[in-house]
Structure 1
Amino acid sequence: METILFCAPVAADGTLAKASLEALSAAKTLAEGLGATLAVGLFGADVAPAAAAVAACGPVFAVTGEAFAVARYATDAAALEALAKAASATIIIAADDSRVSRALPGVAARLNGRIDAHVVAIAAKDGKPLVTRGYYRQRMTAELTRAARPWCVTVSGGCYAAYDGAPGQASLTDVSVPVTEAMTRTTIKAVVAPSADEQTIRPDAKMLFVAGAGWTKKQGDGAAHVPEAGQLILGFLGKAKASLGSSKSLVDMGGEGESVLPFLTHLHQVGQTGATPRHQKGLATCCHGEEPHVVGWRFITERRAVNLDAACGWAQGKADVLYVADAFEVMRRVNELLG
């Protein structure tokens, strides 16, 4: 019988990230489908609050200590390896976040196992675990199963509802991991991050706002209005708490010496060669709406676009609603309505 282990780092406040709680839902789904044992593996400075929050899921194995409070490959990999061995795990499931994704492949190698990342669905079929993941920027999907054990799987965010079971008294088992000086050689001096108002990439936002190259082109008066475009976009993001995306053509313009929106980077890029976000709503402005760009929108539930060209790609059945209008005028009015 399979033994499924859900693994996650614990934040400084003792809680689990939303992405980890979503991965826990995936692990529970698989355990119920296989009739398998589910265990939880946590590591961090203090895991007690997180352990209580997931107590209903099964026995909890914990690696604790200040050495495991920060993201560091050596200590994270050691903790994950020890948790997998303590639980005798055959399938290890974790969130597809930066911290676990960096360490878990090395753990799979240490345990002579296999790993599949960026999984979007997990299910039991004919008594076997089956995972679904995308290829070629999500334009194709494949269902995979493996005979090799342990099998490590990371689950992409936004694919499952976050676990919200009732807290309880956890059955906690401490797992000892010797920490050597070599393992803590890497240290974190400081964390530099923008304030919440300055952050423009918000994975948990309900809306995605995508800016296209048209924002920097000459407008009806024959002149470009890049500074005003930036003010309108940032004003909307601040009032609507939306996440910002960009077409490839716009982020590429910076390397061509053209006027650009200074707050855009390639991290904002959405499309075939960019991100495939999963926001509930999406609003594209000044984008052409052709296939390479729209492929990044396939998981957006409601898609709307603003474009002066009534025959653009968005009008060809790719947008639920197309507003044939000037994006400058539309966003000025929208910002006024938002106050």
Structure 2
Amino acid sequence: MDKILYIAAVEQDGALSKTSLEALGATTKLAGELGADFDVALFGKDVQAAADSLAGCGAQAVLGVSGEEFAQARYGTDAAAMQALVVESGATVVLACADSRISRVAAGVAQRLGGRVDTFLTDISGENGQVNATRWFYRQRMKGVLTRTERPWVLTIAPGSFEAAATQPGQADVKTVAVELPGDAVKTTVKCIQSPDADQQTIRPDAELLLVAGAGWTKKQDGAVRSGDAETLILSFLNNTKCSLGSSKSLVDISGEGEAVLSFMSHLHQVGQTGATPRHKKGLATCCHGEEPHVVGWRFITERRAVNTDANCGWAQGKADVLYVADAFAVMNKVNELLSGE
């Protein structure tokens, strides 16, 4: 029978991220279906507080790698820590979240251990003693279920695929694992982290609502382009709701065609076949036709609504739960009034 290890990096504040707790949820599900025990492994500057927060998760053992050199996200130290933890546990199946820190080193760790890796999994299950891992291929158009005989098998869980594990805090007995670092493992140093203020951030993965803007916002209205009004309406909605912002491919592409654009929009906002596949609970599409290459990026959004002046647009073909046939400028202006209490 496989032995399962859940592994996570501890944040700077000593806690675990939401995506890490989602991977723990996947781990407990798999362990329950296989009837197997699992261990927890943590690495970071100080792992005790994070371990205590997971004391009631049902793990057989808690392993930890602590130290100042493991506080920063760095390939050399992170890979060495994960390798040591997997070796100490003797695990054959290793689960972690697919955040940037783990994703950077997962393949390298699997290579060092002589195992295999599969990333950004959206489901994992255990049937008849066999681990089945599910992920999407070809820009979310094909779903594959994977099994492997090679071990150890390193699996990373895509954010939003599982509910975060409900943990019971307590006092955890952490077994410290020593890591011997080569001299060049700490040559990379993080000097500072630069990020926009929370109110300026328009991509918010943890938001409940996603607002998608289409190219219609920059088209002529009554003979004139109203991109300035569009920016004001969209930013007001973002500030009032703290939602996340997405875009159709056509909107971000016109920036290179000399057309009027929204100044805060970039290819990072693109949702669809060649963009992101967000996992918000609700989504509202505005001035977007709902063509298939874009809508495929809405696969994991539970409730879909759209505003479009065309009653026969793609959203009307069963791709949205509700379609409002109306002018998005008028609709968003009224919505902002209601949200602001004016």
Shared fold, TM over 0.5:
yes
User: 1:218-263 deviations in whole A, cap 9, x for unaligned?
Assistant: 01x2100111111110110110111000000101111112211111
1:42 corresponds to: 42
Runs of 5+ unmatched residues, structure 2: none
Alignment partner of 1:237 is 2:238:
yes
What is the root-mean-square deviation in Å for CA atoms of aligned residues?
0.9
Measure how far apart 1:269 and its partner are. Answer: 0.5
The equivalent position to 1:173 in structure 2, one of 165, 172, 175, is 175
Residue 133 of structure 1 aligns with an amino acid whose one-letter code is R
CA distance in 2, matches of 1:170, 1:35: 23
Measure how far apart 1:290 and its partner are. Answer: 1.1
Residue 155 of structure 1 aligns with an amino acid whose one-letter code is I
2:79 corresponds to: 77
Measure how far apart 1:136 and its partner are. Answer: 1.3
Deviant stretches of 4+, over 2 Å = 178-181
CA distance in 1, matches of 2:259, 2:183: 50
Measure how far apart 1:63 and its partner are. Answer: 0.5
Measure how far apart 1:54 and its partner are. Answer: 1.1
Contact kept, 8 Å, 1:216 with 1:226, in 2: the verdict is yes
Measure how far apart 1:178 and its partner are. Answer: 2.3
Contact kept, 8 Å, 1:23 with 1:160, in 2: the verdict is yes
Residue 229 of structure 2 aligns with an amino acid whose one-letter code is E
Alignment partner of 1:295 is 2:296:
yes
CA distance in 2, matches of 1:76, 1:262: 37
1:150 corresponds to: 152
CA distance in 1, matches of 2:182, 2:80: 11
Measure how far apart 1:171 and its partner are. Answer: 2.2
Residue 17 of structure 1 aligns with an amino acid whose one-letter code is S
For 1:29-108, list aligned pairs within 5 A.
29-56=29-56, 57-58=58-59, 59-108=61-110
Runs of 5+ unmatched residues, structure 1: none
User: 1:38-66 deviations in whole A, cap 9, x for unaligned?
Assistant: 00110000111100011223211101011
Percent of aligned positions that are identical: 60
Contact kept, 8 Å, 1:137 with 1:276, in 2: the verdict is no
1:196 corresponds to: 198
TM-score between the two structures when normalised by the length of structure 2 = 0.97
CA distance in 2, matches of 1:319, 1:34: 38
Measure how far apart 1:89 and its partner are. Answer: 1.0
CA distance in 1, matches of 2:26, 2:321: 30
User: 1:138-177 deviations in whole A, cap 9, x for unaligned?
Assistant: 2111111111000000001111111122112212100111
Contact kept, 8 Å, 2:34 with 2:128, in 1: the verdict is no
1:21 corresponds to: 21
Residue 130 of structure 2 aligns with an amino acid whose one-letter code is K
Contact kept, 8 Å, 1:67 with 1:179, in 2: the verdict is no
Q: For 1:143, what is the secondary structure of its paired residue? A: strand
Measure how far apart 1:181 and its partner are. Answer: 3.5
TM-score between the two structures when normalised by the length of structure 1 = 0.98
For 1:130-279, list aligned pairs within 5 A.
130-219=132-221, 221-279=222-280
Counting matched residue pairs gives 338
1:2 corresponds to: 2
CA distance in 2, matches of 1:269, 1:30: 33
Q: For 1:310, what is the secondary structure of its paired residue? A: coil
